[in-house]
Amino acid sequence: MGRPPDPKAGYTLLDRLRALGINTPFIIYSRSNDQKHKDEAKQHGAMDSTNNPQELLQLVTAALSKES
């Protein structure tokens, strides 16, 4: 999620997208699957966050189903 100089660059990007009214599904694939990170991602407008490839596939499939 971090990129110098912003340690929370992913959330900064997501906040900006949402502020512009861009509601593209946003799923965070990161090294952590901790519930506090999942909760924070959702607070910023993400669908979810995961470090599990199978869960990522399920989340992407769910996002695509909602877009249809």
Give this prediction's pTM. 0.85
pLDDT of residue 2: 84
pLDDT of residue 68: 64
pLDDT of residue 7: 93
Q: How many CB atoms lie within 10 A of CB 48?
A: 18
pLDDT tens digit string along 15-68?
999 999 999 999 999 999 999 999 999 999 999 999 999 999 999 999 999 876
| Burial class of residue 62 (count of CB atoms within 10 Å of its CB; 0-12, 13-18, 19+) | middle
**Residue 1 in this model has a pLDDT that exceeds 90:** no
Do 34 and 41 touch, CB atoms closer than 8 A?
no
Domain ranges of the chain: 9-67
pLDDT of residue 26: 95
